[in-house]
Amino acid sequence: VFRRKASASSENQIVRFLEERFGGRRASLEMGIGDDAAVFRPPGAEERWVVTTDMLLEGVDFRADWQTPEQLGWKALAENLSDLAAMGVRPRFYTVALAIPSAIGESWIAAFYQGLTSLAKIHGAILIGGDLSRSLHGVQVCIAALGETLRRKILYRAGGKAGDGIYVTGSLGRSAAGLFLLEQGCTEGATLAERLALEAHRRPRPRCREGLWLAQQSLAGGMIDVSDGLSMDLHRLCRASGAGAEICLSRLPRFEASGSWGCDPLELALHGGEDFELLFSIPAGKTARFEASYPRRLEPCTQIGRLTRHPGVYCVDGRGGRRRRVAERGFDHFRS
């Protein structure tokens, strides 16, 4: 949420440049740079494998005093599992590269790995390696996670089509509300709403079960996880699918409690980062079947709009107001 959102559109450009200039090709590679994770099928294998990697840097992505080492470990893995969830695959293995300042001792490291493995256990992933090094500038974590398809099912960002309904799991803007509280010096949470926001920011729940279910049903079109904010990730889904979108603001599931703290819940829902919900499309003819069959045990989801033929992301307020363009920007921590 810190740096990344401040420069996410230039990040898009750099990624495109890297893909064109340095991206590799191979027969067994089904998806290289350009989705939530890369996809390949080892020669002779039935199932496809998916790999993703993510970094968390102290002072850039998090502040050391804003969470316990256990929460930091959890969150670092959650980012990666969320990318696997967005492909609809099962988490299997992960590696952890960790650089720490010399002042950090064994109990910190143990707590950090405790956080990692407690989340990994929930989703069936196991630690298979990594690296440990000394850092001169705070804690730095880099995780790579591998997932495997189930019955060869997988979902890509590019699978959306004009006319599809757009859905999102859970609610949006809760993690950004938690970040707001931390910035105000509120690290404990006096009310239930404050504790929920802090928990969402520190211990996000990757939607692996939901992603896997969606892939297995063969109902969904395109899918991406909401890591950089709805506006940014919806633009990415649209670009990959060759479509635009129209969303209805009154339908956005948002974290209303942040309104009483001086935040704008709608603004946080549109542009707040790190919710790690899933954003996906369902072809128009399948939305009724999808809604009727969506299991109660999973995180509820909401239809927020439709993919359109016309490019660009637009919103209506649901009360007959003007149709407006949605800017592609994530949550910028440094915006004053």
Residues in contact with Mg ion by the rule CB under 5 A = 36, 83, 225, 227
Q: Least distance in Å: CB of 85 to Mg ion? A: 9
Q: Least distance in Å: CB of 143 to Mg ion? A: 13
- By beta-carbon proximity to Mg ion, the closer residue of 36 and 210 is 36
- By beta-carbon proximity to Mg ion, the closer residue of 67 and 227 is 227
**Nearest alpha-carbon partner for 243 in 161, 305, 164, 314:** 161
Q: Least distance in Å: CB of 44 to Mg ion? A: 29
Q: Least distance in Å: CB of 193 to Mg ion? A: 27
The strand ranges marked E within the chain are 29-31, 38-40, 49-57, 90-100, 126-134, 140-148, 165-169, 223-226, 244-248, 277-282, 301-308, 313-316, 324-325
* Residues 226, 271: Cα–Cα separation, whole Å: 10
- By beta-carbon proximity to Mg ion, the closer residue of 255 and 276 is 276
**Nearest alpha-carbon partner for 124 in 10, 59, 206, 19:** 206
DSSP label of 303: E
Other CB atoms within a 10 A radius of the CB of residue 195 amount to: 14
Q: Least distance in Å: CB of 5 to Mg ion? A: 13
- By beta-carbon proximity to Mg ion, the closer residue of 120 and 226 is 226
Q: Least distance in Å: CB of 30 to Mg ion? A: 17
Contact 98, 130 (CB under 8 A): yes
- By beta-carbon proximity to Mg ion, the closer residue of 225 and 274 is 225
- By beta-carbon proximity to Mg ion, the closer residue of 4 and 203 is 4
* Residues 17, 306: Cα–Cα separation, whole Å: 30
**Nearest alpha-carbon partner for 36 in 24, 19, 23, 54:** 54
Q: Least distance in Å: CB of 163 to Mg ion? A: 24
CB-count burial class (<10 Å; 0-12, 13-18, 19+) for 50: buried
**Nearest alpha-carbon partner for 83 in 55, 109, 52:** 52
- By beta-carbon proximity to Mg ion, the closer residue of 273 and 305 is 273
* Residues 294, 300: Cα–Cα separation, whole Å: 8
